[in-house]
Amino acid sequence: MKFVLFDGNAVVHRAYHAIPPLTTKSGETVHAVYGFSMILLNVIKELKPDCVAVAFDVKGPTFRHEKFKEYKATRAAHPEDLFSQFALVKKVLDAFLIPYFEKSGFEADDVIGTISTRLKNEPKQETFIVTGDLDELQLVNKNTKVYTMRRGFTDTVIYDEKAVEVRYGFSVDKFVDYKALRGDPSDNIPGVKGIGEKTAIDLIKQYGSLENIYKHLDELKVGVKRNLEIYKDDAFLSKDLSTIVTDVPIKFDETNCSFGDYDKKKVFELFRELEFKSLLSRLPEGKAQSLDSARDKKRLNGDYTTISTEKDFKTFKMELEKQKEFAFDTETTSLNTVDAGLVGLCFSWKEGEGFYIPVGHRNSINNKQLTINNDDFADGQLDIDRVLENLKPIIEDSNIRKIGHNLKYDYSVLRKYDIRVSPLSFDTMIASYLLNPNSRALKLDDAAFTELGIEMIPITKLIGKKKAEQINFAHTEIVEAATYAAEDADITYRLYNHLKKEIEKQGFSELMETIEMPLVPILAEMELAGVKVDEKFLIKSSAVLGKRIAELEKDIWKKAGEEFNIASPIQLKVILFEKLKLAEDPEIKRNLKKVKSGGYSTAATELEKIRSLHPIIDLVSEYRELAKLKSTYVDALPELINKKTGRVHTSFNQTITATGRLSSSDPNLQNIPIRTEVGREIRKAFIAEKGFKLIAADYSQIELRVIAHIADDKAMIEAFHGKTDIHTRTAAQVFGVPESKVDSDMRRAAKVINFGVIYGISPHGLALATGMSREESKSFIDKYFAVHPHIKKYTEEIVEVARETGFVETIFGRKRYLPDLHSSNFIVRGSAERMAINMPIQGTAADLMKLAMKGIGDQMSEVSSRTRMILQVHDELVFETPEADVKKVAEMVKEKMENVISLKVPIEVKVEFGDNWGKMVEI
């Protein structure tokens, strides 16, 4: 019989601190619940227990407080967002039919000690105590082990009697005596001051018990003896406080702890409510009912049809033409739209119904075939050309609304077959994103689970779980593929009906219809167009960078006095802080962050704090920058050139950032430095085709213009209308000098705070960025807000409004929800406050850019049919245009971008052109 006992408080605490804050779409904080559930399922899978129980502390004083009033006095109160999660943890346990025990006046340790003691004499009984607290090692015996987590959740260790002895050098029965000497700072148990871990272990190994140590005081070193004499009362008090009680009066019946016969439907519904979809696959089978019975019955009874004959297709087409709207999806050979080939199409216009048209399934001899034979088509499907020829007029019919999930992908796939999906009316992925912009769980199966309570057929059921052995979708059986694909269309249509009501309710309809949906085909066309990259230039650049990196490596080794791996934070930490002793100054020690593994951090922000102390810091910073750029761009870009097109096709992500900004991936172009020489060199690798030029149009200080508008700051509005340099003007106002007397340091400080205020800059942050002292930085910020009182008013009021409403929004109504504004953790709360200040500004700028892209896209074909929008990075748009069309395209782009909306300040756009992105001239 295997019994698992969880120390509920210890495990919940571990989960709370190990997992970043996680909230549901309703704003409920659940990361500790998620972590606890994950540990619970991991342990059940690993240990396969017959019985499970959990022990919790009860709020209020215990018998230990009666013995020692200062017990746990130094421990901070539970953060509010942690305390609220204990009730949810208990709901999880209730769903699994796992009993939990607690007793007023005692701690979870004592309850566990009592239960494990009752179990230890049971024949063939094996007990595991799951905890993050090593206090329970004293409970280890031949039948009881402690299962604990060292770091995170996966680095676990099981302590039996031998393991305890290996770690400490003494047997389990002496553990409490060891605790008596060492104490426990987390519980404010004093121990014996001056007795360190090594001395404590040596004393226990030699004398065996606290009592025996005091019988042999005269044999000890003078200092040790003196400490033991002075703190004798503390020693015995600490032993008493550390000893786990094993006779708590609780009602415990082992038979009520049997695990396995739980209601999966109840767990499913709870996990849906908590948005824990990723944990569903970890649910143990045991004796529980099948998960199928927990799924949506309507889905299981879905009327899904495979269209595989001419007769069926004709009937299907007639029905499709009658619809005012339908959801559709494509099944393909690849997630890369440039390479993807069509395998099938699926449609739905009524909940519970779906149609699948297979057109590209191939035969597979052993069902493990990874490459596709374009001539080996499977039987039972229609000719792809005939299907697309007949569907093209319907898919392009502007009177029939098209609905999908991640429509950008489906648009791109069909675009390659000369079909332009129109109109793209509703994307359920974008709708899910607008409703919950902090979420990363936006896949169709995530949305189905969260919004509809439906667990969809996983793709791995068709293609396999192990990535190395997965087959291509083209090699799946048509019968299985049809159910999977038709379900996709059916669920998408159901989601549409559900989410469109939420979009209307939250006031997002205009945002969806005028900004987000029109952007989908524009981004798809940009991805398909790609950008030409000069491979030879990159190869040369790689050699140049490699040479410079090698030089830096030698210089760094010389400064360090030895060779080491500069890329290793651990080795670098040793050099900087142990050998060169760059953290000896008390002020520096206070400012430097430490890492969990011990010692000071070597992150760029921390190295900046000690930059002036040693020339090695600048060398390391340059080494890191060059090494990263070389590996991320210079060496990686040639590998990303598509063999079919000869161009790099980055992906533009519309549903990633919580502010509404677009991001890019494969490659991530946002991270190419703009202002460094190396960054500009990398940009030179992006070139125009022969006979074409690149045009770059960049918004000038758009976020500052937005904050001037939103905050209605007269001084800033006047500066922008006066066409003076905003940073020079700010410096002159703050320092009280004429603009002609503003030097570069003054302007730099003004620039830092002008942009920094958008991100809630602090005196400490300004000091780091400018080299000022904290006092100077605080004075500068005070003077800045005196000149710009409306900016200060905005930063204060927006945070208060966000606390009251739970969100902030852009001019266009895009919202970001900020539940962490109520966090009791000041670091988490401070971060949320900065987000509250920044999001309306950055989000409005993002919305402006998207509207500009729409306006340009609408007019481009009239101005220059061969011009393509190819990149969007930060506040910049890049186009590839025929040389003869450069002037008129530039004029149209500038006009559209500058007049996309009327602000209280003028919007300015700088337009340049050239043969490459890194070397351009202004038009």
Report d(CA 212, CA 666) in Å as an integer: 67
Nearest CA among 772, 776, 794 for reference residue 785: 794
Distances (CA, A) of 57 to 119, 131, 314, 675: 21, 13, 68, 55
Query: Which residue has tokens 């495990």?
Result: 11
Tokens of 337: 């739209």
pLDDT-derived band at 373, boundaries 50, 70, 90: low
User: Is pLDDT of 419 > 90?
Assistant: yes
Domains along the chain with CATH numbers = 2-167+245-257 (3.40.50.1010), 297-529 (3.30.420.10), 531-648 (1.20.1060.10), 703-841 (1.10.150.20)
Backbone angles phi, psi at 3, to 5 degrees: -115, 130
- pLDDT for residue 297: 43
Contact 614, 648 (CB under 8 A): no
- pLDDT for residue 295: 46
**Residue 124 CB-half CA count within 13 A:** 2
User: Is pLDDT of 292 > 90?
Assistant: no
Q: What is the pLDDT of residues 42-66, one digit of tens each?
A: 999 999 999 999 999 999 999 999 9
Burial of 640-679, coded b for 16+ CB within 10 Å and e otherwise, reads ebeeeeebbbbbbebbebbbbbbbbeebebeebeeeeebb
Helix axes 789-805, 826-863, angle to 10 degrees: 100
Nearest CA among 320, 296, 341, 459 for reference residue 391: 320
Query: β-strands 342-348, 325-332: how paired?
Result: antiparallel
Contact 227, 192 (CB under 8 A): yes
Instruction: Identify the DSSP state of 288.
Output: S
User: Is pLDDT of 510 > 90?
Assistant: yes
Contact 849, 699 (CB under 8 A): yes
Q: Which amino acid is at 322?
A: K
Tokens of 760: 């809630």
Q: What is the mean pLDDT of residues 781-801?
A: 93
User: Is pLDDT of 128 > 60?
Assistant: yes
Q: What is the mean pLDDT of residues 814-839?
A: 89
Higher-pLDDT residue of 692 and 80 is 692
Contact 350, 496 (CB under 8 A): no
Cβ burial, residue 697 (10 Å; 0-12/13-18/19+) = buried
Report d(CA 562, CA 182) in Å as an integer: 39
Tokens of 647: 């161009």
- Look over the chain and give the mean of its residue pLDDT values, rounded to a whole number: 92
- pLDDT for residue 296: 43
What DSSP letter does each residue of 650-717 carry, written as one string?
Answer: PEEESSS-TTS--EEESS-GGGS-SSSHHHHHHHTTEEPPTTEEEEEEEESSHHHHHHHHHHT-HHHH
Q: Where are the alpha helices (DSSP H) in 530-568?
A: 535-560
Query: β-strands 692-699, 876-882: how paired?
Result: antiparallel
Contact 759, 752 (CB under 8 A): no
User: Is pLDDT of 301 > 70?
Assistant: no
Q: Give the dihedral sign, CA 208/210/216/218.
A: positive
pLDDT-derived band at 231, boundaries 50, 70, 90: very high
User: Is pLDDT of 612 > 60?
Assistant: yes
Burial of 156-185, coded b for 16+ CB within 10 Å and e otherwise, reads beebbbebbeeebebebebbbbbbbbbbbe
User: Is pLDDT of 766 > 70?
Assistant: yes
Report d(CA 747, CA 770) in Å as an integer: 11
Burial of 844-856, coded b for 16+ CB within 10 Å and e otherwise, reads bbbbbbbbbbbbb
Report d(CA 757, CA 788) in Å as an integer: 11
pLDDT-derived band at 594, boundaries 50, 70, 90: confident
Range list of β-strands (E), 383-450: 401-404, 424-427
Contact 217, 105 (CB under 8 A): no
- pLDDT for residue 369: 47
H/E stretch holding 356? strand 353-358
Helix (H, G, I), strand (E, B) or coil at 760: coil
Q: What is the mean pLDDT of residues 89-114?
A: 96
- pLDDT for residue 676: 84
- Cβ neighbours around 297 below 10 Å, total: 9
Q: What is the mean pLDDT of residues 292-315?
A: 75
- pLDDT for residue 25: 82
H/E stretch holding 626? helix 616-629
Higher-pLDDT residue of 255 and 428 is 428
- When computed from its CA atoms, the radius of gyration of the chain, rounded to whole angstroms, is 33
Contact 716, 576 (CB under 8 A): no
What DSSP letter does each residue of 810-845 carry, written as one string?
Answer: -TT--EEE-GGGG-S-HHHHHHHHHHHHHHHHHHHH
Candidate from 317-331, 594-608, 645-659 with smallest mean pLDDT: 594-608
Report d(CA 437, CA 439) in Å as an integer: 5
Query: β-strands 51-55, 2-7: how paired?
Result: parallel
Tokens of 610: 């000690």
Report d(CA 615, CA 617) in Å as an integer: 5
- Which residues, 6+ apart, have CB-to-CB distance to 797 below 8 Å? none
Q: What is the mean pLDDT of residues 821-850?
A: 92
User: Is pLDDT of 641 > 80?
Assistant: yes
Helix (H, G, I), strand (E, B) or coil at 387: helix
- pLDDT for residue 286: 53
Tokens of 635: 């060496």
pLDDT-derived band at 206, boundaries 50, 70, 90: very high
Candidate from 180-184, 333-337, 824-828 with smallest mean pLDDT: 824-828
Contact 407, 492 (CB under 8 A): no
- pLDDT for residue 288: 46
Q: What is the mean pLDDT of residues 322-333?
A: 98
Tokens of 130: 């799951």
Report d(CA 903, CA 597) in Å as an integer: 50
Percentage of the chain lying above the pLDDT 90 cut: 77
Q: What is the pLDDT of residues 536-548, one digit of tens each?
A: 999 999 999 999 9
Contact 345, 419 (CB under 8 A): no
Q: Give the dihedral sign, CA 585/587/592/593.
A: positive
Q: What is the pLDDT of residues 848-902, one digit of tens each?
A: 999 999 999 999 999 999 999 999 999 999 999 999 999 999 999 999 999 999 9
- pLDDT for residue 294: 46
User: Is pLDDT of 187 > 80?
Assistant: yes
- pLDDT for residue 365: 56
pLDDT-derived band at 589, boundaries 50, 70, 90: confident
User: Is pLDDT of 332 > 70?
Assistant: yes
